[in-house]
């Protein structure tokens, strides 16, 4: 027990202010719980167990869950940044952590801007007033393609980058060993869950989940975007 509660670096004291401590806790809640949960839902819950896809298409469960969870995560990030706005560490590690932290925040901002600028949906579920099915998503326009590449690849990279930043922040604060162990186990558990769901073929392409597997549809004539994203034959 003494070893578990000892600081990771015994040559330094574990002394942090309440604001720094809460900054760390809130960031862990955002990047360790909310954001990865939203990613798992968006990737693996495009259809629900009772949906009977492809007879029933366009489940909104994953979309509403993803949007709400990620928005809550962003709110926590903003609050955590506000807590330590005027705080500055003197060590090189503290400077690196602060720099990496701002990079993570910029990733978060880009993600939400990309979502806001992703364009229209189109398709049978969002027919225009003139009866047209055209939409950025349905037609997979360059605008939509740019969004999908940015949102998907930057999202995963931002999460892994944030986890690295988290461990560095704990080192700067000289947190106890048990914290490093718990976070390592938790992050490993998330990666394991991801691997299991991926192995079971649950990463269905968003386009197919919304409009079905008909090969004549515009989006189904392109390769799915994202590593490991799968399509099902009609």
Query: How many other C-beta atoms are found inside a 10 Å radius of the C-beta of residue 144?
Result: 22
Report the candidate in 208, 4, 173, 155 with the shortest Cα–Cα distance to residue 89. 173
Contact (Cβ atoms closer than 8 angstroms) between residue 34 and residue 76: yes
What is the rounded distance in angstroms from the CA atom of residue 24 to the CA atom of residue 180? 13
Q: Give pLDDT, residue 39.
A: 98
What is the 3 state secondary structure string of the chain? Answer: CHHHHCECCCCCCCCCCHHHHHHHHHHHHHHHHHHHHHHHHHHHCCCCCCCCCCCCCCCCHHHHHHHHHHHHHHHHHHHHHHHCCCCCCCCHHHHHHHHHHHHHHHHHHHHHHHHHCCCCCCCCCCCCCCCCCCCHHHHCCHHHHHHHHHHHHHHHHHHHHHHHHHHHHHHHHCCEHHHHHHHHHHHHHHHHHHHHHHHCCCCECHHHHHHCCCCCCHHHHCCCCCCCCECCCC
Mean pLDDT calculated for residue range 52-75: 95
Q: Which range is least confidently modeled, 10-14, 115-119, 164-168?
A: 10-14
The residue that leads in pLDDT, 5 or 96, is 96
Mean pLDDT calculated for residue range 46-68: 94
Ranked by mean pLDDT, the top range of 63-67, 85-89, 172-176 is 63-67
Mean pLDDT calculated for residue range 46-57: 92
CATH of domain 16-221: 1.20.120
User: What are the φ and ψ backbone dihedral angles of 134, each rounded to 5 degrees?
Assistant: -65, 140
What is the rounded distance in angstroms from the CA atom of residue 184 to the CA atom of residue 163? 10
The residue that leads in pLDDT, 14 or 144, is 144
CA of 61: how far to CAs of 41, 111, 223, 228, in Å? 9, 20, 25, 22
% of the chain exceeding 90 in pLDDT: 82
pLDDT tens digits, one per residue of 123-165: 987 776 777 899 999 999 999 999 999 999 999 999 999 999 9
Q: Give pLDDT, residue 46.
A: 95
Q: Residue 65: is the preceding peptide bond cis (ω within 30°)?
A: no
Q: Which two tokens stand for residue 97?
A: 């952590």
Mean pLDDT calculated for residue range 160-182: 95
pLDDT tens digits, one per residue of 202-231: 999 999 999 999 999 999 999 999 999 999
Q: Give pLDDT, residue 13.
A: 78
Q: Give pLDDT, residue 12.
A: 85
Q: Give pLDDT, residue 11.
A: 85
Does the pLDDT value for residue 90 go beyond 80? no
Q: Give pLDDT, residue 176.
A: 92
Contact (Cβ atoms closer than 8 angstroms) between residue 102 and residue 169: no
pLDDT tens digits, one per residue of 24-40: 999 999 999 999 999 99
Mean pLDDT calculated for residue range 58-70: 96
């Amino acid at each position: 027990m003494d070893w578990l509660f000892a600081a990771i670096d015994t040559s330094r004291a574990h002394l942090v202010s309440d604001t720094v401590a809460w900054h760390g806790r809130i960031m862990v809640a955002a990047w360790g719980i909310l954001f990865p949960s939203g990613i798992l839902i968006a990737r693996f819950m495009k259809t629900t167990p009772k949906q009977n896809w492809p007879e029933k298409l366009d489940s909104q469960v994953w979309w509403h869950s993803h949007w709400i969870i990620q928005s809550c995560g962003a709110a926590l990030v903003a609050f955590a940044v506000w807590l330590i706005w005027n705080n500055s560490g003197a060590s090189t590690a503290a400077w690196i952590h602060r720099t990496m932290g701002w990079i993570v925040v910029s990733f978060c901002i880009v993600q939400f801007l990309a979502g806001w600028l992703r364009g229209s949906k189109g398709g049978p579920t969002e027919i225009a007033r003139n009866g047209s099915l055209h939409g950025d998503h349905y037609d997979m326009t360059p605008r939509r393609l740019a969004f999908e590449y940015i949102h998907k690849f930057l999202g995963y990279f931002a999460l892994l980058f944030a986890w690295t930043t988290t461990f560095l922040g704990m080192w700067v604060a000289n947190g106890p060993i048990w914290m490093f162990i718990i976070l390592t186990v938790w992050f490993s558990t998330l990666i394991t869950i991801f691997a299991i769901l991926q192995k079971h073929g649950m990463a269905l392409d968003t386009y197919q989940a919304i409009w079905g597997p008909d090969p004549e549809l515009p989006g189904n004539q392109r390769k799915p975007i994202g590593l490991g994203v799968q399509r099902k034959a009609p």
